[in-house]
Every structure is written in structure tokens, then in C-alpha cells.
Amino acid sequence: GRAGLSRAEPRAGEQEEVEVEVEVDGSFQLYPGHIPTSPLQKVLLAAGSACMALCDPYRHDMVAVLGETTGCLALPSLRDKMKNHPEGYRILQERPRIRLSTLDMARLRALPDGALGREYVRFLEDNKVSPDTRMPAKFVDDEELAYVIQRYREVHDLMHTLLGMPTNMLGEVVVKWFEAVQTGLPMCILGAAFGPVRLNARKLQVLATELVPWAVRSGRNANCVLNVYYEQRWEQSVESLREEIGIFPPP
């Protein structure tokens, strides 16, 4: 494919990074960070990222790539679920992003214990994670679907908070089971199925007898978690939000 380099205007409010706009096989960049790929490349990427994610569990970028390249059926259906729900529809229109620059951490920390905002910040601090480490979408060939997968990634930490699961291997697997049922994303299903491979027998037992059945039941019972405008519900208590969405209390 021929490649042409052209200047891309930096978006207002973005960092001063100018993305290189590259034309590949006649298709253009649809959003900053987008890399157009052919069907063959997507297949190769899916296979390669799956292998690499299994070999090296610290390659979170590979898990992200796997999600993007295999989500062609699940993502449109998620987007439609959002469109058909009043709160989800608003999220699609307003495109909120969960980032350290947009969150008022001081205000959230000041909220009472049990409030979503307070528990979320506690989760971030206890597990030493930050919402800014989420990979931006690269291989999704639709601008709106790219946002949907981005939203799913940014809401993942809130899932941990709502499910009360830590970021160790066991906690991640439980959250993946929940997300697999909720979103139908093949990446979640693969993660849920293969994640337990690295757990010892005792943890596997707890997983199989208590945690997974609970996660699956909650996932099926709950409304679509992407249809919740979390940024407008920081003051709401975690318990009441769980009840509203339909997540059963953790074991």
C-alpha cells in the first residue's frame, strides 16, 4: 500500500501530540490513534495477540488488541444497547472520559464511605492503579465503536469497585466472567476461560464454587453496565447502585 504523510490538526484540549495521518490501502484514519487494517491483518493480530497475552500476562496491550480485533460482533450490539437506553444514549452523545485530568480526586475522596466516588478512589489507591493507563483504541474501524470499547475499558475499574474484587489474578478473572456475560466480547470470554490457568488449586476451588457462579448470576441479572453514567453518580452509595443495576452482593 502507498503511504502518504499528512498533517493532522491537534484536537482542542488534547496533549501536544500530532498524530501522523497515514493512508493504507485507500482507507483513512477515522480518529486519533486509529490504524486502518486489512481483514488479514486483523486475523493475524487476533492470533498473535492471543498467543502473546497467554505467554506474557503483563502485556496488557495485547489483551486490548485482542479485544479490538475480535469485537466486530459484540461491539455493535453493545452500541445498540446503549442507543436504546436513555442514559446510555446520553453517554454516546456526550462521550465522557474517565481520566485523572477530568476527575476531581479531592472531591471524591471527601465523599462519605460507601459512596461510589469514595470507594472508587479507595480502589485506585489500594491497588495502585490509575485510569490513565488504559490503551486507546487502535484497530476498531468505526469511530463510535472505538468510543464504546474505550468506555468499556475505562469503566473496568468501576466494575472492580462494584464487584468488590481486587486487581490480583483471581479478582481479574472474576471481573472477566462478569464482563463476558455482560458484553459478550470474545476477549472477555477468552480471558475468563484461560485466566484461571495460572491459579493454584485452592483459588480455583473458591473460583469455581463461589465466585464464578455469583459473577455469572449477577452478570445475567444486571442491566448493561455501560448504560450507567457513573460520572453523575459519584455520591450514590455503592450498595444502592448495585441494587439499581442488579448486581448481587459479593460473597
Partner 1 sequence: PQDHFKVNCISFSCPFFAVYQVFENVAEKYDVMNDSMTLGIHRVWKDILVHKMNPSPGTLLLDVAGGTGDIAFRFINYVRSVRERQLQQKLRHHQNLSWQEISKSYEEEKRNPLGDSQVVVCDINREMLKVGKQRAQHLGYCEGLSWVRGNAEELPFDDDKFDVYTIAFGIRNVTRIDLALEEAYRVLKPGGRFLCLEFSHVSNPLLSRLYDLYSFQVIPVLGEVIAGDWKSYQYLVESIRRFPPQDELKAMIEDVGFLKVDYQNLNWGIVAIHSGFKL
Contacts with partner 1, residue ranges (CB under 8 A): 1, 3, 5, 7, 17-20, 22, 24, 33, 35, 38, 40-41, 44-45, 48-49, 51-52, 59-62, 65, 136, 138
> Least distance to partner 1 from the beta carbon of 3, Å?
5
> Least distance to partner 1 from the beta carbon of 52, Å?
5
> Least distance to partner 1 from the beta carbon of 5, Å?
7
Cβ nearer to partner 1, comparing 1 with 213: 1
Q: What is the DSSP letter of 209?
A: I
d(CA 172, CA 175): 5
d(CA 224, CA 82): 8
Which bin fits 25, alpha (ψ -120 to 50), beta or left (φ > 0)? left
Cβ nearer to partner 1, comparing 147 with 177: 147
- Distance of CA 178 to CAs 78, 156, 222, Å? 15, 11, 10
Q: Which residue has the cell 493454584?
A: 200
Checking DSSP bridges between strand 21-22 and strand 5-6, what pairing results, if any? antiparallel
> Least distance to partner 1 from the beta carbon of 50, Å?
10
d(CA 249, CA 231): 22
Cβ nearer to partner 1, comparing 55 with 106: 55
Cβ nearer to partner 1, comparing 80 with 132: 132
The number of residues in the chain equals: 251
Cβ nearer to partner 1, comparing 64 with 174: 64
> Least distance to partner 1 from the beta carbon of 31, Å?
12
245 closest CA partner among 67, 116, 125, 118: 116
